[in-house]
Amino acid sequence: MSHRSGAPRTESRRSFRSSGPSRWSQSRKRGIDGNLRSHSDDDDAAADEGLYGGRQSSFRTPESAGPVSRCARRPDWGSQVEDEEEMRKDVHRDMQRYRRRILGSEPGQRERRASSGSSGSCDSREGETMETDEAVLMRRQKQISYGKNTLAYDRYIKEVPKHLRQPGVHPKTPNKFRKYSRRSWDQQIKLWRVKLHAWDPPAGGSQENSLSDNIEELDLEDMVDIELDFPTLADPQDAPSSSVVEDQDCSATPVKVQKTEDPSVA
Amino acid sequence: MENSSEDYRIQSFDVDTQKLLKTALKDPSSVDLEKVSNILVDQSLKDPFFSKEAGRICYTIVQGEAKQNNGTVFRRHLLNRLQQEFKEREETRKRSLQEWVCYVTFICNIFDYLKVNNMPLGALVLPVYDCLMRLAQPDALLNEEEVDCLVQQLHRIGEQLEKVNSQRMDELFFLLRDGFLLQEGLTSMARLLLLEILEFRAGGWMLSSTAHKYYYSEIAD
């Protein structure tokens, strides 16, 4: 933190402005040089926006306050704790399944690799590099859930069946069990969300109906999610039939595919 | 789990309520758990000693209900009642300082005892912080009762709280440092308590043995 010297204290006090500026605030509004910092609050407010506002606004629902996404927390504490408990259970269940999946796929993976001659090399290492930190997994799952609980995602999974999805072309849910840095993960989520926006409903559509549908589908989607997150057998690079599938796919949703490429280029 | 102190605390209720609570502890699903949760909250808000003990009783009932039928009725009612009281906390504080202090003690005690998979209840983290922040405001620091409550809670659950949200803890301690350093009208006892908690956190939620000696041993003549 570059503003170590004065800003944090100012910031902490500002969060309690509702009860009025503290009695001594005048004397503390000095910079390192000792001059009064009359404009400091504005500066700090702007800095805060950058620090906190930016991170929360676009693609994540704030955890404490602010607008609540439609899947998010039920308002009463009793339900919140139940949801939390449920989420922890789910993470553990997913982790078990993922482990089994890795174990199960490993020998087969070898054979396939031997015959095809080229395949991903990362999957066999999956066991050692698996993310097992519960807090991290829950945070990631939350981000994924926010992405999936959108009209765009509903439209996407309806319009593009799983076997037609192309790596690099269609959005692919980031794999929450892989070890990634926080920065890398957040970036993957961001790109995924950007890609999903290509399936946003046309403006002015009848949103009301599909809105209630979504909520009911939530649980199902979570199940789908696990499947998506497992290591894929086909490697992005060696998909020989890609052009064929892509053609089929393009004929199904030409506009979308076009659109998805725009944001990633930009 | 030994029952002595639970039994002791239950003595303060009338006979029928004692019976109800004892049954709730042994066979939770056979009683009206909403009623039980209300009794426990009401008593906690009245009785400063009970508010420090109630967490354990609640824990026992929650565990019992989960074991019996995977139920969460008691916990749900307890938390929702706590939430309702939370919304009215500022009025409560105006009406009765003791009740407010009891509330904070109770919610912190619940935070300390009730866990989900050994992790603190996420739903309570920010509310607990809000309560502690309130106790760290200038007007509250003038009441020794509130300062005492604040530092007691931090001694018990400070470390856990910091683990789940360190940013909020930093904010809280900015207030505490300011209060210790700059606020006029603090009693020397309040200053001592604040200084101790500042040292306590600075030492990784532990007092060094010399600090402990300073704060807790009798002054040698």
- Give the closest-approach CA distance of A28 to chain B in angstroms: 10
Interface check A251 vs B, CB under 8 A:
no
Using an 8 Å Cβ cutoff, are B15 and B47 in contact?
no
pLDDT at A72: 54
Asked if residue A155 is part of any domain, the answer here is yes
pLDDT at A162: 85
pLDDT at A101: 83
Enter the ipTM: 0.82
**Statement: residue A38 has pLDDT above 50:** no
Kindly list the structural domains of chain B, giving each domain's residue range(s) and its CATH number in brackets, ordered by start.
Answer: 1-116 (1.25.40.180), 139-221 (1.25.40.180)
- Give the closest-approach CA distance of A91 to chain B in angstroms: 12
Of A12, A24, A81, the CB nearest to B75: A81
**Statement: residue A118 has pLDDT above 60:** no
Mean pLDDT of A209-217: 44
pLDDT at A92: 87
Measured in degrees and rounded to the nearest 5, phi and psi for residue A179 equal -75, 120
Interface check B116 vs A, CB under 8 A:
yes
Asked if residue A153 is part of any domain, the answer here is yes
Among candidates B139, B145, B152, B39, which has minimal Cα distance to B90?
B139
pLDDT at B39: 96
Mean pLDDT of A60-83: 63
Interface check A77 vs B, CB under 8 A:
yes
CA-nearest residue to A74 within chain B is: B123
pLDDT at A100: 84
Of A24, A64, A78, the CB nearest to B182: A24
CATH of residue A164's domain is 1.10.8.1120
Interface check A68 vs B, CB under 8 A:
no
Return the number of CB contacts < 8 Å for A and B.
Answer: 75
Using an 8 Å Cβ cutoff, are A257 and A250 in contact?
yes
Residue of B62, B77, B78, B80 best to disrupt the A interface, most CBs of A under 10 A:
B80
pLDDT at A116: 43
Among candidates A166, A121, A162, which has minimal Cα distance to A257?
A166
Asked if residue A117 is part of any domain, the answer here is no
Asked if residue A188 is part of any domain, the answer here is yes
Interface check B122 vs A, CB under 8 A:
yes
Interface check A262 vs B, CB under 8 A:
no
Residue owning tokens 């200084």: B195
Dihedral, CA atoms, A24, A25, A27, A29, nearest 10 degrees?
170
Q: Which residues of chain B have pLDDT under 70?
A: 1-8, 219-221
Orientation angle between helical segments B97-113 and B73-87, nearest 10 degrees = 140
pLDDT at A28: 40
- Per residue in A128-179, pLDDT (tens digit) is 678 888 889 989 999 999 999 999 999 999 888 888 888 888 899 999 999 9
Helix (H, G, I), strand (E, B) or coil at B136: coil
B138/A79 CB distance under 8 A: no
Tell me how many domains chain A contains: 1
Which tokens sit at A86?
């449920």
pLDDT at B217: 82
pLDDT at A96: 86
Asked if residue A21 is part of any domain, the answer here is no
Using an 8 Å Cβ cutoff, are A58 and A34 in contact?
no
Residue by residue, DSSP assigns B61-118 as HHHHHHHHHS--HHHHHHHHHHHHHHHTHHHHHHH-HHHHHHHHHHHHHHHHH-EETT
Which tokens sit at A243?
């052009």
Mean pLDDT of A172-198: 92
Q: Where do runs of H (alpha helix) occur along chain A?
A: 7-14, 25-28, 40-48, 54-57, 77-116, 126-129, 134-148, 151-159, 182-196, 207-229, 242-252, 254-265
Asked if residue A136 is part of any domain, the answer here is yes
- Give the closest-approach CA distance of A217 to chain B in angstroms: 25
Q: A170 is in which domain, residue-wise?
A: 126-200
pLDDT at B118: 85
- Give the closest-approach CA distance of B55 to chain A in angstroms: 16
Residue A15 with chain B: CB contacts under 8 Å: 171
A85/B174 CB distance under 8 A: no
Among candidates B189, B155, B124, B160, which has minimal Cα distance to B52?
B155
Among candidates A137, A153, A131, A10, which has minimal Cα distance to A70?
A153
pLDDT at A227: 43
Residue A85 with chain B: CB contacts under 8 Å: 116-117
**pLDDT-derived band of residue A245, with 50, 70 and 90 as boundaries?**
very low
pLDDT at A106: 61
Mean pLDDT of A251-264: 42
Interface check A132 vs B, CB under 8 A:
no
A82/B124 CB distance under 8 A: no
**Statement: residue A212 has pLDDT above 70:** no
Of B116, B174, B182, the CB nearest to A85: B116
Q: Which of A91-95, A128-132, A223-227, B207-211 has the lowest mean pLDDT?
A: A223-227
Residue B122 with chain A: CB contacts under 8 Å: 80-81, 84
